[in-house]
C-alpha cells in the first residue's frame, strides 16, 4: 500500500469510527492484533474496548466531530493532528456537562502492517487545553502567567 493509501485508510477510519459511529466497518480496517493506547485511558484496548470507548464518547458528545488537520506518513507509520469538537451532554472522563463547544487538540501515531491493516493507535490529548476551555485551574495554569 502506498503512503497516500495509508493516509487515506487512517482518515477513513477516523471518519467511520469517531464521526459516523460505523464501528463494524472501522473494525474491518484493524488487524487481529489491534491495540489502542491513549493519554485518557490506563491500559491498551483491543478492538472491542476501542469500540466501547468510541460509543461512550459519542454518547457524551452527540455533536462530536473530529477534523484531521494534518496527516503525515513515513513508512508504516501515520501521524495525525486532529481537532475534536463538541459539547459534553453527559459527564465524560470526570468532566461535567457543559454547553460550551470544546475544541480539543489530539495527536495520534498509527502503525499499519504491510497489508495496510491498523495494528496500533496511540493518541495524546491536550488536557491542559480542555482545562482552560472549562475554566478548571490546574497546577500548571496557576504557575504560568498569561502572555
Do 54 and 34 touch, CB atoms closer than 8 A? no
Domains in the chain, CATH or no CATH each: 3-144 (3.10.450.50)
Residues 140-145: what's their mean pLDDT?
A: 62
Nearest to 11 by CA among 81, 61, 115: 81
What is the phi/psi pair of residue 71, to 5°? -140, 120
Q: Can you give the pLDDT at residue 144?
A: 63
Side-chain half-sphere CA neighbours of 6 within 13 A:
24
Residues 131-140: what's their mean pLDDT?
A: 80
Strand partners of residue 77:
74, 111
Side-chain half-sphere CA neighbours of 51 within 13 A:
13
pLDDT tens for 15-47 read 999 999 999 999 999 999 999 999 988 899 999
Q: Can you give the pLDDT at residue 131?
A: 86
Amino acid at each position: 500500500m502506498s503512503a497516500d493509501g495509508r493516509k487515506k485508510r487512517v482518515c477513513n477510519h477516523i471518519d467511520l469510527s469517531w464521526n459516523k459511529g460505523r464501528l463494524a466497518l472501522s473494525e474491518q480496517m484493524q488487524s487481529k492484533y489491534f491495540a489502542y493506547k491513549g493519554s485518557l485511558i490506563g491500559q491498551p484496548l483491543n478492538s472491542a474496548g476501542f469500540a466501547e470507548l468510541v460509543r461512550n464518547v459519542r454518547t457524551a458528545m452527540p455533536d462530536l466531530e473530529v477534523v484531521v488537520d494534518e496527516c503525515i506518513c513515513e513508512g508504516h507509520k501515520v501521524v495525525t493532528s486532529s481537532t475534536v469538537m463538541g459539547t459534553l451532554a453527559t459527564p465524560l472522563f470526570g468532566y461535567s456537562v457543559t454547553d460550551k463547544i470544546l475544541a480539543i487538540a489530539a495527536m495520534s501515531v498509527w502503525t499499519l502492517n504491510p497489508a495496510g491493516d491498523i495494528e496500533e493507535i496511540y493518541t495524546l490529548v491536550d488536557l491542559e487545553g480542555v482545562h482552560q476551555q472549562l475554566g478548571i485551574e490546574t497546577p500548571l495554569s496557576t504557575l504560568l502567567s498569561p502572555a
